[in-house]
Amino acid sequence: MVAGAAFTETATTITVTGGSTTGGFIDFNFLPITRITTASTNGSGGNIDIVAFRGTGGGDIQIGATNPITSGGSGANNNGNVTVVAGNVATGFTTVSAINTSGGLAGTGDISLSNSTPLVGAGVQINKSTGAAASNFAGGAFTAAAMAVTGTLTAGDDVTIESGAFLDLSAGNITGNVNTAVDITAHGDAELGVISAHSLSVAATGNIAMDGDITASGGITLVSSQDILPNVANTVDLSTASATTNGGDIVIVAGATFTQNASSITITGASATGGAVDFDFNDLRTINTRGTTGNLSGGDITMVAFRGSNNTGNVFTDPVQSVITTGGSGTGSNGNFTVVAGATGNQFGIGIRNTVNTTGGSAAGTGNILLSTSTPATGAVIQRSDATFTGGFTGGALTNSSIFTDTYTVNNASVTMQSTERSPHNFPKA
């Protein structure tokens, strides 16, 4: 379904050529409909494209919580994709309820939600008899409108979300499978709900706040131009731990400028405000990258904070609640734990005030710990699919901020602390 479009037609096709002068809305809130479905119980699910052009005043899409969207297939048949493209601008808002693209063949059934100008190229042709479109209108320039997801997204394959401003997923949990890559971009703050997938990458020009657990054995990447923090206390766990594959890496970068594309995020420097990784004010419970059985390896954890005008650049964890584990199993390698904080001015740059355990695997020289109050290096290229990166964040000039630590458990590994302010020392548990 396409609102606010200019088009031509023949007896068999409709070709969307762009937006009309007025544009249009898709509003299933004011007078709700029961559901939108192309799901099949004995075949493949069909694709669903929901598109609105801006024009002089349109572009909003409102699909309320009573309007589930389903496109799943059955058995070995394909699931259909669901694509929502809203061309609204700064005063607009996009609301999407529950979407389910699962039921059929795993690895099919993408979900794509974006505030962007619908992309038509030379024209998108739609077959009148089947409703099939030659493309899904996605990929245009983002528009500065906010987005809220009010129901659970259950994906048969990948999930891609781009909001032009604030993104609210606090009530919009994401549930995927062993194939699901979740890639999220917010041109503003991003508030995340419970997410379970193979991998997760989030890039936000504002804050990243977490309301629920994030589980992604393939890797977790969180990159923010401001702060990264739990939104509620003592309820959030981050886990890439696995009993079937090596534990995934976790990379958390606050206060950064960055560029990105579909496959990677490149850290280019400090944002004007800078930012903090603050897992203390609202306590984050655990960060776990373990490979838990056999000879599996644990994943690396890297936490970085750039300093800006907000005088931040700190990395803090809670002294009572937080537990960080990166160990492998058997002959597997243990994950490294690295923290780089750019805070200056005789303040606490790093406060890892909890237990850190990098043991479990027997591979010598793994599970190393490095804490550095220094200007983070730039140029790291982080892969969205698995949180691995080239380049790095270490090696910058040391800054005059302190390191407070608690208990570390290592085995045949190094513990390195770098600070010009004072000798690192243990922080008493509360």
Q: Indicate whether 426 pLDDT > 70.
A: no
Other Cβ atoms within 10 Å of 422 Cβ, number: 12
CB 208 within 8 Å of CB 190: yes
| 285-337 residue pLDDT tens | 999 999 999 999 999 999 999 999 888 999 999 766 678 999 999 999 999 99
Tell me the C-alpha distance between 363 and 333, whole Å: 5
Q: What is the pLDDT of residue 424?
A: 55
Q: What is the pLDDT of residue 146?
A: 94
Q: What is the pLDDT of residue 110?
A: 98
pLDDT band at residue 239, thresholds of 50, 70 and 90? very high
Stretch 401-422: mean pLDDT, rounded? 89
Tell me the C-alpha distance between 341 and 253, whole Å: 10
Stretch 346-368: mean pLDDT, rounded? 91
Tell me the C-alpha distance between 192 and 250, whole Å: 16
Considering only residues 67 and 281, tell me which one the structure prediction assigns the higher pLDDT: 281
Stretch 116-129: mean pLDDT, rounded? 95
Q: Indicate whether 429 pLDDT > 60.
A: no
Stretch 399-404: mean pLDDT, rounded? 90
Tell me the C-alpha distance between 299 and 330, whole Å: 15
Q: What is the pLDDT of residue 428?
A: 37
Stretch 335-350: mean pLDDT, rounded? 92
Between 31-35, 172-176, 196-200, 332-336, the lowest mean confidence (pLDDT) is in 31-35
Q: What are the tokens at 17? A: 């050529």
Helices (H), 51-90: none
Stretch 102-117: mean pLDDT, rounded? 96
Q: What is the mean pLDDT of the chain?
A: 93
pLDDT band at residue 427, thresholds of 50, 70 and 90? very low
Q: What is the pLDDT of residue 406?
A: 83
Stretch 112-130: mean pLDDT, rounded? 95
Q: What is the pLDDT of residue 320?
A: 67
| 183-212 residue pLDDT tens | 999 999 999 999 999 999 999 999 999 999
Stretch 55-80: mean pLDDT, rounded? 90
The model's pTM is 0.95
Considering only residues 64 and 146, tell me which one the structure prediction assigns the higher pLDDT: 146
Tell me the C-alpha distance between 382 and 390, whole Å: 7
Q: What is the pLDDT of residue 173?
A: 94
Taking alpha carbons only, the member of 295, 265, 279 closest to residue 363 is 295
Q: What are the tokens at 100? A: 């389910």
- Looking from the CA of 38 toward its CB, the CA atoms found within 13 Å total 20
Q: Indicate whether 347 pLDDT > 50.
A: yes
